[in-house]
Structure formats: structure tokens, C-alpha cells
Amino acid sequence: MPNPIAAAIQMRSGPDLDANLERARSLAREAADRGAALVVLPEVFAWRGLRLHEHEVPSAVPGPVSDFLCRLAVELGVILVGGSFLERSEHDGKSYNTSLLIDATGEIRAIYRKMHLFDVDLPGEVTVRESDARVPGAEVVTAATAIGTLGMSICYDLRFPELYRRLARAGATIVTVPSAFTAFTGAAHWEPLLRARAIENQVYVIAPNQTGTSPHGFADYGHSMIIDPWGAIVARAGDGEAVISAEIDAAYLARVRREMPCLGHARLLT
């Protein structure tokens, strides 16, 4: 049997929810037409707008955004990682940054809420305080699928290797990293961090990113990537919206882990 194909969707999401959902559908359909069995959307794919409008946007699960994703998975017959969207929480006007894993029958198989919140001040470049409007998640999330066990993460999580080691120890062979990585940090760190997480944990890494200029005025990096368990970049986008895809070769992953058995040699377990 041929190896399954995974696709990462690079988007330029804005403040029009309906337009974003329609664009996500179109790009996901393109991925499915290329034979993708797994499609991964970027972080905040459904809505990116100004903070003062955010109170109008968060969606429950189940709710409008999750229902859209479930219908899309069935329509395309794919496993779908719904990037992330703002999920309503019980915490005083704040929301979760939430990623859903949905199988081809439309069933939600896993819910991951972003654990590490992006609070940075890079003078002259980027100032973001995600914690002003978000609640951090607390659970490490994996789920078995027809093409391997998926470990879930979102964007800034990428800087915390202990999360990915725990995903690998929980059986993950594929890790998803839907992101809205800025151009300033992305140019320096996006590729080396993605490759490091793949190499350290001997997993496929699927990392769709946002592109263009965010509603907050800073540039997103684009350059979505799929990286194999040896750390090779097997698919890469440039700037602009795009669909990239690559095979998920379980036999190759098993060979890498057999010939370089680092995971079994770990002495300090997190």
C-alpha cells in the first residue's frame, strides 16, 4: 500500500469569520484532491482580528467552528486538525486557543488547548501578551489515528521541548504545530526549532503557519514545513497562501528509531 499523505495549509486569516472558513474549505479541498489523508490548518485559522472585537468571536465545543470542521472532515474524507480557534471559557471573558483533531467520520477525537502563552516584548519589533485574553490549557494530548498517533501542540509550545518529549513518550509518531509565528522570530528560530523537535523525538512534524500581516500590524513568517524523523524538510512553503504535502512513512520512522534508539536511552524523563 502507498504511504499516506499529510498536508499543511498556509493561510492569511483576517477578521471575517465566514471568509476564513470558506478559504479554509477551499485549501483543504485542494489538499484532499492531492490525496491527503491528514490535513492540518494553521493557528487561529477561523478568525484574526483586533482584541477589542474578540468578545464576539469565541465559540463553544460543540459550536459553529467545531461543527464546520466536523462537516469538512466528512465532506473531504480526511483526518483534520483544525489549526486553532478561540474557544469560549468560563474565565471572565478570556478564551482558550484550541485545536481539534477530527476523524473522517466527523467525530472529535481530541481537544488540545494551548499550554504556553506568548507574552513577549521585542523592542521595535513585536509586543504581544496572549495571557491578557487567553487561558492556558493543562493537558498533554495524543490520539491514535489511521496513519499514526498524533501529538498536538500550538505555535509558542514549540519552544518547550519537554512537551514534545512527553508526546513522544505517550506514543506520538506525528506532531502537529499549527502556528502564527512572527516574521522576526520565525526568520531566526522557526526552522531550527521544528527540525530539533523532529530529531529529538524521531517524529514527523507538520507545521502550518500564517502568512501576510497580522491585524496587529506585524508580519507573519509563512514558510510552513513538514519535517521527517531524521530532521529533513520534506515540504516547505514560501510566502502567501499555500498547500504543502508529504508522505508519512511509518517504516522509515521505525527504521530511524531502531538504528538511532535515542528514545530508549533517555536517562532524565520529564
Pairing assessment for the beta strands 142-145 and 126-129 based on DSSP bridges = unpaired
Q: Tell the burial category of 218 from Cβ atoms under 10 Å away from its Cβ (0-12, 13-18, 19+).
A: middle
Rounded to whole angstroms, the Cα distance separating 223 from 215 reads 19
Q: How far apart are CA 109 and CA 82, in angstroms?
A: 12
Cα 64 to Cα 60: distance, rounded to the nearest angstrom? 8
Angle of the 161-169 helix axis to the 191-201 helix axis, nearest 10: 30
What is residue 122's DSSP assignment? E
- Active site annotation includes 114: yes
Q: Which residue among the candidates 70, 87, 94, 114 is catalytic per the annotation? A: 114
> Which among 208, 193, 190 is positioned nearest to 161, based on CA atoms?
193
Known catalytic membership, residue 94:
no
Q: Which one of 70, 87, 94, 155 is the catalytic residue?
A: 155
Strands (E), 62-107: 79-81, 85-88, 95-102
155 as an active site residue: the answer is yes
Q: Which of 147, 148, 31 is nearest to 83 (CA)?
A: 31
Report strand pairing: 233-236 vs 79-81: unpaired
Q: Which of 43, 87, 94, 241 is catalytic?
A: 43
Residues carrying an active site annotation: 43, 114, 155
